[in-house]
Chain A
Amino acid sequence: MAVRDDMAAPIEAPARLRRVAVVGNPNVGKTTVFNLLTGLRQKVANYPGVTVERKSGRLTGAASVEVIDLPGTYSLSPKSLDEQIAYDMLVGRIQGERPPDVVVCIVDASNLERNLYLVTQVMDLALPTVVALNMMDAAEEAGARIDTEALSAALGLPVVPMIALQGEGLGALREVLLHPPPPPTPRRWPLMDTVAPQVDALMQVLGEAAPDVPASHRFSEVLRTLAEDGGLAYWEARASRFHQAVLAARRTFEEAHVPYRYAEVSGRYNWLGPLVAQTVTQHKDPSARTRSDRIDAVLTHRIAGPVLFILLLVLIFQAVFSWAVPAMDLIEAGVTGLGDWVRAVLPVGVAADLLVEGVIAGVGNVLVFLPQILLLFFFLGLMEDTGYMARTAFIMDRIMNRVGLSGGSVVPLLSSFACAIPGIMAARTLPNERDRLITIMVAPLMSCSARLPIYTLFIAAFIPAGYLFGVVGYQGLTMFTMYLMGIVMAFIAAWVLKKYVIKGAASYFAMELPPYRMPKVKYVLWRMVERSKIFVLRAGRIIFGLSIVLWFMASYPKAASSPALEAREDTVVADYQAALDSVAAAHGMALPAFLAQPPVEAAMRLPAAEAAPRLDSLRALYPGDQAAGVLAVYRVRQRYEAGRRAVADAEASYQIRNSFIGWMGRALEPVMQPLGFDWKISAGIVTAFAAREVIVGAMATMYSVGDADETSVALRDQLKADRYPDGRPVFTPLVAVSLLVFFVFALQCMSTLAIARRETNSWRWPAVMWLYMTGLAYLFSLIIYQGGKAIGLE
């Protein structure tokens, strides 16, 4: 492959490294074989310029052999992003990558004919190729006995039988990889006579127009450009002479009614049919119902199928929303504990503030969702490995197709109820680029777990606790409505996007329903951890940076304390002194000495609820008037501390009003006022554009309630008590509903934008996403608030 040497050298790979590419159809155990070969020590990176992961690792015990796991593909005429990478990788068309030195084709022995189709395409590239005949047990079970030697002779390739899940055949495969075979002999399958001469002529043109394409790749390239418009488009810019020649050949074929688009596929299958018949002996009736068929009779049954699917969804939701809670509480406590510890260790100052309020709180916000993400990935992995995933698409395709999506969008959208990030990533499995893009664009409309704290806070505060018709709680109904609004809007948005915005090839549906298989828990767990790691690292990095910015904007500029606040603080201190003096005078106590006694000192620190009985017990120690004195001092102290807290809160509030975020909130107030939002809500929304759940903490800070969480009674009461200068309440149920609706639609999540940027490889789609969702949020909040006011709901 000297021709390739002019390309940039592969990153960090020494020249002598032997590179083995693992290719295969989806669902053939490709990743399992890859894991076996590399022993789970893998490196995950991205191919330059695209979002597809490049997984590689060294062959165990042979550091000079690099194994690369290519995305699953049905053919070398790519239909999706994943498949394009597999093709480009094999022909060395990826910048910084040489073509592999050896190709391992993983083949499902129980589905031989269709799997060998890809093998025949790989063979035509004239690279040393090994066939790993996986799932021999499944073939055996289906009654097929494969003569691997005859198969090897017919294909002209080494064939290694394997049962990868049990590690069988690994030794033999390693042996072949260490001593790879020579490249396969010239093509063995014949192309139909009406097409072959034209193909030869086109190969000639290609060789002249693009001499750097290796002679061994010309045949595949010509077939691909003949049949696929995508493959042809590549050449328009690179070698227009070849492009023109292909177009001319197509016209000639069409005039003569030659089915040239079938030529490659039927040529290969016509060769494979007899080959498979000769090497496989069937000792069971192939049309007999298998175990998988019997499972399908239930799981895709007309009535039982949807019911079981819904039950599975309920189970997953239950797991994600309630089983995860103890772990989430634990993480939250850990994060708080860490913050307290840092506060205790570091001197009071900017460094401690930044670390605790910015970094620890911010990253903690992501980590809290980790249990939900782990559980979700676990279930998704289980669905994938059992083969049920394809059935969800089968069951749901009809509904999804109606609104412009596809059956394959079901899983990404379901994932998005936990978090849009794994949802958007899951859309990669969609073969149709248009379906994938639309799914990505509407996924953030699913109410994710980050919206829950906001729903909880405002519903608890402003929606009456009563029951509609005595059965359905208003609060629960409101919560449900929020979820429903997101779903309905996602469907509408998908329909509009498909009809007017995102053009592309009409979608068709071709979903393999693989046989059900017992999943290997080890691999499900392994993948769960891998995916979660990627999520946490990527989202964490963004939130880490953003938290620092947010903290800074809420803390600076440091406003000079206002004279009014200073005066208030002085009053609190003076009142305290005066009250203490009057108690001392009334009870005849020498106060500083009395207060210094350990039992009294301890009693002073008691919370109000425990104070009364404990103070009572002091009567025994301090007879008569003295005990009453203790109680009086306690009350004075309580009042003083409450006063100090109120001043500190007012200071924090003053501070935030004059911080950058406060300025923004006040600048935005005129725009947000028509939705019913004051400057504090506006400022909260500004902070929430980093991540939705941030608004709860931000509102708490602005309402001067230290450490409020979403169920905090104090924050709820503060919200209810807040008044405009003219005495109107800031929050009414109508304002709360307007705010809730805003949060259903608005895209307030930096991580989602970042992941959408990564998955669509441009800022264009994240920008469209942000604009349309924020536009919807504004519009619907406006309609609800103004409409509500018009019919007198205010």
Chain B
Amino acid sequence: MTLRDLKPGERGTITGWSQDAPGRLLEMGMLPGAVVEVVRLAPLGDPIDLKVRGYHLSIRKQEADMVRVEPV
């Protein structure tokens, strides 16, 4: 499953990226092994607000779909 499938409040461990990840997202800590929590969706449903490594990062569903996760 991908990060996109997680619902607000759910957490998952990143297992990998299905495509070449944008370098910036890796640098922001979205690496395999990191635990990500989906905090909420933007009012229009996209982008999403994530909690990763103790801070809030917002990414689009399009990128979230490229992140494989293992639910925690």
Residues of A within 8 A of B (CB): 74-75, 77, 79, 110-114, 117, 142, 227-228, 261-262, 265-266, 269, 286-287, 293, 296-297, 300-303, 305-306, 390, 393-395, 397-399, 401, 407, 431, 508-515
| Nearest A residue to B63, CB-CB | A508
What is the distance, in angstroms, from A677's C-beta to the closest C-beta of chain B?
Answer: 43
What is the distance, in angstroms, from A504's C-beta to the closest C-beta of chain B?
Answer: 14
B25's partner among A117, A269, A510 (CB-CB below 8 A) is: A510
| Nearest A residue to B45, CB-CB | A398
User: How many angstroms between the C-alpha atoms of A494 and B25 in the bound complex?
Assistant: 25
What is the distance, in angstroms, from B8's C-beta to the closest C-beta of chain A?
Answer: 11
Known: A77-B23, A262-B31, A509-B58. A407 touches B47 (CB 8 A): yes
Whether B22 lies near A508 (C-beta < 8 A) is yes
Whether A305 lies near B28 (C-beta < 8 A) is no
User: How many angstroms between the C-alpha atoms of A111 and B28 in the bound complex?
Assistant: 11
Closest 9 CB pairs of A and B: A398-B44, A513-B56, A265-B26, A511-B58, A75-B27, A111-B55, A509-B60, A508-B22, A305-B43
User: How many angstroms between the C-alpha atoms of A401 and B42 in the bound complex?
Assistant: 13
User: How many angstroms between the C-alpha atoms of A111 and B53 in the bound complex?
Assistant: 8
Which residues from chain A contact B53 at a C-beta distance below 8 Å?
Answer: 111, 113-114
User: How many angstroms between the C-alpha atoms of A293 and B25 in the bound complex?
Assistant: 22
Which residues from chain A contact B51 at a C-beta distance below 8 Å?
Answer: 287
What is the distance, in angstroms, from A719's C-beta to the closest C-beta of chain B?
Answer: 45
| Nearest A residue to B58, CB-CB | A511
Whether A117 lies near B59 (C-beta < 8 A) is no
Residues of B within 8 A of A (CB): 20-29, 31-32, 34, 37, 39-47, 49, 51, 53-60, 62-63
Whether B28 lies near A74 (C-beta < 8 A) is yes
Which residues from chain B contact A262 at a C-beta distance below 8 Å?
Answer: 21, 26, 31-32
Whether B43 lies near A510 (C-beta < 8 A) is no
Whether B57 lies near A79 (C-beta < 8 A) is no
A114's partner among B39, B43, B55, B59 (CB-CB below 8 A) is: B55
User: How many angstroms between the C-alpha atoms of A398 and B25 in the bound complex?
Assistant: 19
Q: What would 10 A/B residue contacts be, using CB atoms closer than 8 Å?
A: A117-B27, A261-B23, A266-B26, A286-B54, A296-B49, A394-B42, A431-B24, A511-B58, A512-B57, A513-B58
What is the distance, in angstroms, from B36's C-beta to the closest C-beta of chain A?
Answer: 12
The prevalent SS among residues of A at the interface is: helix
User: How many angstroms between the C-alpha atoms of A79 and B26 in the bound complex?
Assistant: 13
Which residues from chain A contact B42 at a C-beta distance below 8 Å?
Answer: 300, 394-395, 397-398
Whether B31 lies near A265 (C-beta < 8 A) is yes
Which residues from chain A contact B23 at a C-beta distance below 8 Å?
Answer: 77, 79, 227-228, 261, 265
Which residues from chain B contact A398 at a C-beta distance below 8 Å?
Answer: 42, 44-47
User: How many angstroms between the C-alpha atoms of A75 and B49 in the bound complex?
Assistant: 21
Whether A511 lies near B31 (C-beta < 8 A) is no
| Nearest A residue to B42, CB-CB | A394
Whether B55 lies near A512 (C-beta < 8 A) is yes
| Nearest B residue to A268, CB-CB | B27
Which residues from chain B contact A142 at a C-beta distance below 8 Å?
Answer: 54
What is the distance, in angstroms, from B68's C-beta to the closest C-beta of chain A?
Answer: 14
Which residues from chain B contact A401 at a C-beta distance below 8 Å?
Answer: 46, 60
Which residues from chain B contact A114 at a C-beta distance below 8 Å?
Answer: 28-29, 53-55
Whether A300 lies near B49 (C-beta < 8 A) is yes
| Nearest A residue to B55, CB-CB | A111
Known: A227-B23, A508-B22. A266 touches B47 (CB 8 A): no
Which residues from chain A contact B27 at a C-beta distance below 8 Å?
Answer: 74-75, 77, 117, 265
What is the distance, in angstroms, from A750's C-beta to the closest C-beta of chain B?
Answer: 37
Which residues from chain A contact B54 at a C-beta distance below 8 Å?
Answer: 110-114, 142, 286
Which residues from chain B contact A261 at a C-beta distance below 8 Å?
Answer: 20-21, 23, 26
Whether A510 lies near B31 (C-beta < 8 A) is no
What is the distance, in angstroms, from A498's C-beta to the closest C-beta of chain B?
Answer: 15
User: How many angstroms between the C-alpha atoms of A24 and B34 in the bound complex?
Assistant: 23
Extra 4 A-B pairs, beta carbons < 8 Å, given A111-B54, A300-B49, A510-B57: A394-B58, A395-B43, A397-B47, A512-B55
Whether A508 lies near B24 (C-beta < 8 A) is yes
User: How many angstroms between the C-alpha atoms of A113 and B53 in the bound complex?
Assistant: 7
User: How many angstroms between the C-alpha atoms of A512 and B29 in the bound complex?
Assistant: 12
What is the distance, in angstroms, from B52's C-beta to the closest C-beta of chain A?
Answer: 8
User: How many angstroms between the C-alpha atoms of A110 and B55 in the bound complex?
Assistant: 9
Which residues from chain B contact A512 at a C-beta distance below 8 Å?
Answer: 28, 55-58
Which residues from chain A contact B43 at a C-beta distance below 8 Å?
Answer: 300-303, 305-306, 395
Whether B49 lies near A513 (C-beta < 8 A) is yes
| Nearest B residue to A509, CB-CB | B60
What is the distance, in angstroms, from A783's C-beta to the closest C-beta of chain B?
Answer: 34
User: How many angstroms between the C-alpha atoms of A287 and B54 in the bound complex?
Assistant: 8
What is the distance, in angstroms, from A559's C-beta to the closest C-beta of chain B?
Answer: 62
Which residues from chain A contact B32 at a C-beta distance below 8 Å?
Answer: 262, 266
| Nearest A residue to B22, CB-CB | A508
Whether A399 lies near B44 (C-beta < 8 A) is yes
What is the distance, in angstroms, from A289's C-beta to the closest C-beta of chain B?
Answer: 10
Whether B60 lies near A397 (C-beta < 8 A) is yes
User: How many angstroms between the C-alpha atoms of A558 and B27 in the bound complex?
Assistant: 67
User: How many angstroms between the C-alpha atoms of A261 and B32 in the bound complex?
Assistant: 13
Which residues from chain A contact B63 at a C-beta distance below 8 Å?
Answer: 508-510
Whether A394 lies near B59 (C-beta < 8 A) is no
What is the distance, in angstroms, from B3's C-beta to the closest C-beta of chain A?
Answer: 13
